[in-house]
Amino acid sequence: MPVRARPGWEGLLAPDEAARAEAIPEGGRRDLFVTSRATQRLIACRYTGSPPRQVRVERTCERCGAGHGRPRVVGAGYEYSVAHTRHRVLVGVVAYGLVGIDLETIAGPGVPQGLLARTTTPDERVALSQLPPHELPGAFTRLWSRKEATVKLTGHGLAARLDRIGVRGDLALPHGSPAEDWPSSEVHLLDVFVEGHAAAIASTHRITDVRAIAGRPGPHRLTL
């Protein structure tokens, strides 16, 4: 969903969200917040039939109890995940299991060695080093988006060590010793097309179909 001001969308928010939006100065940050929260509520309305303002969204972290956890719609029969850049919001929904989604702007020329060391396994660094220089930013950003989608699914979030998660084909695996609280089922990955970005979905069920609620659906493609 493109980020922009939309008349009436603040009226879709719950009272506490509307108050938060009102406290943000007009501009990009406010438009992003309203677009993200209103989009989540419109999707919940589609699946639950409840008016957007009446949807109850729970964001309690399962690890520490703070309010930064993976969002869940109370009483809904689906799981979802949210990602955004400054200009787009992406929401992934699954009917079974857990889901994580990530959206990244393709990196510029070159990738700092320190960043590579913090976010990739030794085998991944070797594979990236063998790419032509012009392919490295895109390949690295796609790899990063897969890992970020994975840690959103597991609930580790920003506390995760991305260099301890390996990506092999369409699977994400703990690198070395099993990661704490790693799901008992496999974590499946799928790249999703969003123009100018790298995006990925992680799920505890193999993903066989992706459908766009907005835009034109296609195989493994979302055009929003």
For 8-40, the pLDDT digits (tens) are 999 999 999 999 999 999 999 999 999 999 999
Helix, coil or strand: residue 28: helix
Domain ranges within the chain, ordered by starting residue: 1-55, 77-224
> Which is nearest to 101 in space by CA: 73, 72, 80?
80
| Beta strand spans in the chain (E) | 57-58, 72-73, 79-84, 89-94, 99-105, 165-168, 171-174, 187-194, 197-203
Express each pLDDT in 102-123 by its tens digit.
999 887 777 888 888 889 999 9
Closest CA to 162 of 178, 177, 181, 146: 146
> Would you tell me which CATH number, out of the four given (1.10.3480.10, 3.50.50.60, 1.10.287.810, 3.90.470.20), belongs to the domain 77-224?
3.90.470.20
Amino acid letter for position 195:
E
pTM, 2 dp: 0.85
The proportion of the chain whose per-residue pLDDT surpasses 70, expressed as a percent, equals 88
**pLDDT interval class at 177 (50, 70, 90):** low
Report the distance separating Cα 100 and Cα 146, nearest Å. 9
Give the model confidence (pLDDT) of 129-156 as tens digits. Answer: 999 988 998 999 999 999 999 988 888 7
